[in-house]
Amino acid sequence: MPSFLQSFAERFAALDAASLHRLDELYSRGVSFQDPLHRVEGLGELRRYFASLYANVQELRYDFHGFDEVAPDHGYLRWTLHYRHPRLGGGRLIALEGCSHLRWGERVEFHRDYFDAGALLYEHLPVMGGVIGWLKRRLA
């Protein structure tokens, strides 16, 4: 039988812009969600946030490769996000490594994503991406 995290990851990876109504199968009504760019409270706000994420991408896929349950009610997922956006990176497929900390009861009540916001967005903007790349090379 798959763990809670494995089951969650499979169902989360199956989401797309047309199936966001299924978020209530994964998250509690009072869910708290945070990533490096946003913080939202409640299932309705989470649905709106995800809808805005899916609105402009041409492709979006998660590959989950780590399921670390540290207690019966919380754990970490390690993942790679693959996405394509027409105004980022010349429209090419971009990969981003990250992890999620989840706490749950019957459904997920707390979800916090950890990833490099620059690698998600800023590095792929025409002017800013060049500057960030230059800074990274100088500091390495």
Domain boundaries, the chain: 4-139
pLDDT digits (tens, 9 = 90+) for 17-69: 999 999 999 999 999 999 998 999 999 999 999 998 888 888 889 999 999 99
pLDDT at residue 79, rounded to an integer: 96
Residues 6+ apart with CB under 8 A from 118: 132
Please provide the average confidence, as pLDDT, over all residues in the chain: 86
* Residue range 88-93: mean pLDDT, rounded: 74
User: Which CATH number is correct for 4-139, 3.40.50.720, 3.10.450.50, 3.40.605.10, 3.30.300.130?
Assistant: 3.10.450.50
Residue 123 scores a pLDDT above 60: no
Per the CB < 8 A criterion, the answer to whether 113 and 34 are in contact is yes
pLDDT at residue 94, rounded to an integer: 84
Say how far apart CA 51 and CA 119 lie, in whole Å.
Answer: 21
Residue 132 scores a pLDDT above 60: no
